[in-house]
Structure 1
């Protein structure tokens, strides 16, 4: 449902009374969970109306910018993985094997062959109804990796003979809803799963549930609870006469956004010096989402607002005569102005996701540094609980062995030092054997990684070149190594620098390069460091930037 980008139709900050009604709906739908931790009384609750890539209209409820619930057609409330991590027992679970996670992340539903049975016989798939909300976790981690709806009731699942869809997935770890607020992304928390024993599979007719069943299938999930859920399905904020208050309804924010949009869209075209009154009338007012009333803002007057913008460094204003002010300069490389192009206008039916994705995401297998292996990995600057990609483990072990261990020149077998002896014993072993012994004492997991991870990546190289007509162009290499979505970067360059931008393949070059017309070194540097958060040390070529406009004599 949220595998691909969705369109944001509107964003609304819920008032106190509206938030109470939402809390009441949640308490009816999930009566066994206390909502005080999920939805505190004074929390900032936002309602997002979205349109998925498949054309499905939905509502997402965010608490302190983090998506916690979304609404299906008909009004049924569904918890996100963030909610499941905060309140693990809000839904019953189906467990699958960890190797199934990459397939689910690619948009597949959970099939019956991938479900680990809860018991034997008719108890194999619990006692659930078709359409009931089900969370999915993996055999080595109790934390939820996704949420979906049961494709059939439990009896029908048992009669299917191990074929067909078990859970229709609605929301997954790593999808666009999980990544709604990039600054608040969380990886799957590790909750060690209990080893299954014969006690987890009671004989038919047994009345006592095993501890595992009590965790996965609490007593509250009976027919009565399902009826309660169904009874609240038709409720919605609109039916209760609630009014929507958008973020832009704040007069100050409405004015500031219109000002930034005016500079962003018209900054290169402004004929300076320009009367402040004309700038406001011709450029700011048309960019406003709603009618601006200066008297309702804290500024009260246009001159007071522009004075604040001067203090923040956006513009320079000069008073030519008494009462006549003109804008004489505009800083189009102001960080806030550069970043403004990534914000989606609320209420724009053609808008993209709540925040335009800037990076490619990739699900990676990881090994987590455990207490047993901490003594080894801390010598290599890795912390306890830190995830290490599978393909890096052997490289790390190889580097450690080459520095601290003795290798038999004939057999190529390694003699472990004192640290490795604690993990592998005292016998000689090959590099692969030592690596396997170390990973066997670590937790296996998955993490959603993106271009924000800069370790081991080549530096981004910025340079200048000359094209036909003695025109300068800016070339940028190694961008793809950081997982940056090139189409989005090109869009930002065209809008922010107002210059022709394209991807070129130069002779004798292995990778493609970004080409921007003119000397845009400083703009590219600011864009990469401010918007994409690339560390400055990872970028070369800033010394080629313009020092400033040459003064005419």
Structure 2
């Protein structure tokens, strides 16, 4: 609703009485917000402004900065947090999860269909039509959109994941966001799409924990229910007696050690066990130099990234209800220390010698990433893998399952198995080497001028080759790093990185160009800055020319034709056959 007509008609500060009424309404709508949360959103002695917008909506800012809440109709009956407020306190409302690929549609203003949801193991939970929900992607704790549910959970249970699920109210990048400082919580937020987070620095210099992207996400259907997503090994059965008050003092140390050892057993269903594991995993990623840290920052930047891939963690559904109670429980156990500083709760210390901390099993990495990590603690030693998958057109969908999803991606092995299964079902199999052709195979895999007819036998390998040529090809590039897995899914064959050098001033000056690094999940801006530091040369990053180009070109002073391929291999695992090197004019 904020794609256009969002100019400000009037702006005025509201009285202290009106501020109290606004806070009262917010507390009614979001009862689990603590006083500390409210102080973070609306600090004392800072004016609150009310903005009346051209589209009849009303927005509220604090200190003439970012809009924090808005009333879509301006009638005072609904207050919705903006993305700015959700980045401060992601737990204000529950999040639905969708795929990174789908985020581009939502950012463009499209309502979120139920087919585009990722359903965690515990389901989507209970909700009614009209309930507020934020929208996030796996591997990124920051919501990028907010809206209201168009159906209830009971209707979804009856009809399945079909039709509209969430009516969009506001997104990152829309004009309501544009009324603020136009910031983003992380470089993973781009105008076109939201990506899983990489390691970055927060505003205070602390490291934001890296997040693993779900394995194989690029090859999943956009309407899949995520049933086969691997569990996080650290969320295996937490014992139900983790509450310190339930363990006699004499046995407390032994019980705590048992709790930590039990973190790597079987999948967790209990919300308490999930949030406790998030706490322990989050503490592992907090560096001592980052302390003291706001507890809200610890929750959003360390606890949420430590959750299992695809899981929906909601502290309000646990017995703790509030973050302060969870931290207090573990502070009594001696695991951590908190302190109120200027009316704000802060995490001040972590007891890294505590049995719970030392026994906690950290997030496992892939074999490639683990090997890379043993060589260096930085991104050096990354491993690149490229896999191809195929999307089936409607005309050939009968070869696959009867209810095959139009958006599903299949590996070549799965396509081969589906073709053999189809031949068995239709009585076309002539052994491993040949098939008997039917109307579908003749009509869609052979040209009209070719002599093949129904009933003819034909080599299986040639039918398989023809079938693959009729499917839409996609490639998935996985870059395993010590911080997690970065994946890029694109249509067609992989596009190589291009490195070229041109002579200027009669050969006295050289300029090296680097393009298409986005194909391998790299940010041109971030890579350009790294190359500038590495080679101590001037650097510029510009958009590639052409209407169909979406990437950027990095331009570096000097002849780096030899150095850049070696750097890409050493730092990111991008082998030479993925890089095209040439001197312009040759």
Q: After TM superposition, is the score higher than 0.5?
A: no
Q: Which has the higher contact order (CA 8 A, sep 6+)?
A: 1
TM-score for the superposition, normalised by structure 1:
0.42
Determine which structure has more spread, i.e. the larger CA radius of gyration.
1
